[in-house]
Amino acid sequence: MKFLRNLLASILGFFIALFLLFMLFALIASAFGDGNKVTVKPNSVLELDLSIPIKDYAPKSNDPIEEFLDLADEKLGLNAIINAIENAKTDKNIKGISIKNYTIFGGVAQIQAIRNKVEEFKESGKFVYAFADVYDQKNYYLSSVADSLFLNPIGAINFKGLNAEILYYKDFEDKYGIKMEVIRHGKYKSAVEPYLTNKMSDANREQTTSFLQSIWSEILEDVSKSRNITTDKLNLIADNSLGRNAVLSKKNNLIDTAIYEDVYSQKLKNAVGKTYKTITINDYISSGKGRISSIEKNKIAVIFAQGQIMYGKGNEDVIGQGIMIKALKKARKDKNIKAIVLRVNSPGGDALASDIIWRELELTKKEKPLVVSMGNVAASGGYYIACNANKIFAEPTTITGSIGVFGAVPNIHQLATNMGINAEQVSTNKHPNYSAFEPITKEFYEVTKEGVEFIYKTFVNRVATGRNMTFEQVDKIAQGRVWTGKEALNLGLVDALGGLEDAVKEAAKLADITKYRVRNYPHYKKDFKDAFKGFPFAKASKNEILKEALGDETFKLYDQVQQLKKMKGIQARMPFLYEIK
């Protein structure tokens, strides 16, 4: 007995010591972090380097150990980037902006929002320069806003127009005896088309061509205005790759001068008028410039819904009804919050979770004004949760709509037969069951189809009520079809074109307030066990290891199959297989 007491005491002592050591480590890490706080030095140039992933909302980790050991994932928040550029306009230490990227990990709508903010920055009278060894198309779109644009003499500009690639699996399914049983509503609901055919349908080609042309026209108009090149000439440049070297780029006015980076540095020095320091956008945000300081009592809540919609709690990368309901209730109960903006960046997902979030938003709208701001994509389930707002804003290049639903279940009957496997079932009742080892029955198909039709009608009715349209009007532009923000405005699916700032201003107007500060939601908290996931031995995630082993293209196939496996129930999801290049 004494031995057991001593053993338990030793175990308890070990865990107490471990906890105290952990807390001491956290305090040391926190103190160390405070000692290395970023400051903005005089005569600084803000370097707009967007070569790390951009999310609409990327709150800094509150884990001092993670920060101390540099274990947090690198990411930039669009809201913080916009705020930083806004602050830079009046920051006496910032003399100008230097855009320096090789590539940009962000969507077209995000880039357009940043570009518009840089355009505003130029009105302050400060300079904007851009340099790259090579410009990809997204980087050139952003950089073209600069007063002066420079390229390495041996560099190139990949200005070529847009294209989208979709992988089709029907022949693969037939060859190996694996297939997806699909039940859908909407002739444009192309999320599942690759499992039904080995080529693109006319309907899907029509919608893809339409939204690509709409996005491309926005890029052309913006570049045309900044570089004083007609859109016809820009299309000619894209058709004939007339930016494929520095000589052609200069000849066609895509750049101002071809120079090396050391000469570019000298030009920055000349623009500042003296020796200068550069500060990256990430460090500028870390210095506290990623937020707009205010002591106003009135607040506008901005609730970020980013990622796929999945039934459950949710997190920073997944929209779950749990975390969304919690955030909405907090915003409703706070008497100082006068209006709410829902920022949506989602291709949709689980239909049930979408409807639960829709319901909570409906309750919220009865108490406080609700405005939606759409990011890169707010389609299918992403549009479902947006459709009942008082006002909806979208960027011209936002991908939205896709009002349609589907159900999909894997079937390996043929594969099992080929391998000599036979599955037998025993049931107590006649309810149509489904087995992946047996062909789908007519009864199961009909029951599932009924569910799909019910969700589709509910979806259309939600949109019709929210947008003050008839069922027939919505159904005509629904059918799973994807639209851009510009197209959606003409169709009545959104109210205005603009970014998050515009949506916040509209929310304040609806709440009848002129002075306010912004409060961001949700608040993400890690479980204790999650704090250790970023340690060196665990830093390389399973996906990173697989991507390294399989290569980008093969991993893409694997990742798409994994997404399908996560789907449960009927889906209100956009064609996630689009890859716009």
pLDDT by 10s per residue, the chain, length 581: 555 566 566 666 665 655 555 555 555 544 554 445 788 999 999 999 998 899 999 887 555 444 544 445 578 999 999 999 999 999 999 999 999 988 898 999 999 999 999 999 999 999 999 999 999 999 999 999 999 999 999 999 999 999 888 888 888 888 888 888 877 776 666 667 888 888 888 888 888 899 999 999 999 999 999 999 999 999 999 999 999 999 999 999 999 999 999 999 999 999 998 899 999 999 999 999 998 888 899 999 999 999 999 999 999 889 999 999 999 999 999 999 999 999 999 999 999 999 999 999 999 999 999 999 999 999 999 999 999 999 999 999 999 998 988 887 888 888 888 889 888 888 888 888 888 888 888 888 888 888 888 999 999 999 999 999 999 999 999 988 899 999 999 999 999 999 999 999 999 999 999 999 999 999 876 554 454 454 444 444 555 555 555 555 455 555 555 555 555 556 666 544 455 55
Cβ neighbours around 494 below 10 Å, total: 30
> Which of 470, 465, 434, 429 has its CA nearest to residue 449?
434
Phi, psi of 130 (to 5 degrees): -140, 140
**How far, in Å, CA of 28 to CA of 9, rounded?**
28
Do 111 and 89 contact (CB within 8 A), yes or no?
no
Phi, psi of 296 (to 5 degrees): -65, 145
- 40 three-state secondary structure: coil
Do 465 and 261 contact (CB within 8 A), yes or no?
no
351-365 helix and 442-467 helix, angle to the nearest 10 degrees: 20
**How far, in Å, CA of 63 to CA of 321, rounded?**
25
Secondary structure of 66-79 in the HEC alphabet? HHHCCCCCCCEEHH
Beta bridge partners of 44: 94, 277
Do 303 and 313 contact (CB within 8 A), yes or no?
no
**How remote is the C-alpha of 134 from its chain's centroid?**
25
Two tokens, residue 415: 């594969």
Count Cβ neighbours within 10 Å for each residue of 121-145 and write b for 16 or more, e otherwise: bbeeebbbbbbbeebbbbbbbbbbb
Beta bridge partners of 518: 300
Do 289 and 93 contact (CB within 8 A), yes or no?
no
**How far, in Å, CA of 162 to CA of 165, rounded?**
10
DSSP characters over 256-292? SEE--HHHHHHHHHHHHTS--EEEEHHHHIIIIITS-
Two tokens, residue 261: 């980076």
How high is the pLDDT of residue 250?
Answer: 97
> Which of 277, 245, 462 has its CA nearest to residue 354?
462
- Placement of tokens 């103190």 in the chain: 31
**How far, in Å, CA of 310 to CA of 4, rounded?**
47
**How far, in Å, CA of 30 to CA of 62, rounded?**
10
Contacts of 186 (CB under 8 A, 6+ apart): 403, 404, 405, 406, 456, 478, 479, 480, 481
**How far, in Å, CA of 503 to CA of 208, rounded?**
28
Catalytic residues: 189, 380
> Which of 206, 222, 512, 488 has its CA nearest to residue 374?
488
**Model confidence over 396-410: pLDDT tens digits?**
999 999 898 888 788
- Stated as kind and residue range, the H or E segment containing 47 is strand 44-48
**How remote is the C-alpha of 284 from its chain's centroid?**
22
Cβ neighbours around 402 below 10 Å, total: 32
- Placement of tokens 């709690």 in the chain: 313
Do 178 and 415 contact (CB within 8 A), yes or no?
yes
Strands 348-350 and 571-573: antiparallel
**How far, in Å, CA of 547 to CA of 543, rounded?**
6
* DSSP E strand stretches across 337-412: 337-346, 348-350, 370-379, 391-394, 399-401, 405-411
**Model confidence over 214-272: pLDDT tens digits?**
999 999 999 999 999 999 999 999 999 999 999 999 999 999 999 999 999 999 999 99
Phi, psi of 124 (to 5 degrees): -75, -10
How high is the pLDDT of residue 293?
Answer: 85
Strands 299-306 and 391-394: unpaired
Gyration radius of the chain over CA positions: 26
Cβ neighbours around 547 below 10 Å, total: 16
State the amino acid at position 506 in one-letter form.
E
Counting every residue written for the chain, the total comes to 581
> Which of 138, 67, 126 has its CA nearest to residue 94?
126
How high is the pLDDT of residue 202?
Answer: 87
Q: For each of the domains in the chain, give its residue range(s) and CATH number, in order of start.
A: 44-160+241-289 (3.90.226.10), 299-580 (3.90.226.10)
Measured CA distances, 82 to 112, 117, 219, 244, 405 (Å): 11, 7, 20, 32, 35
**How far, in Å, CA of 304 to CA of 520, rounded?**
8
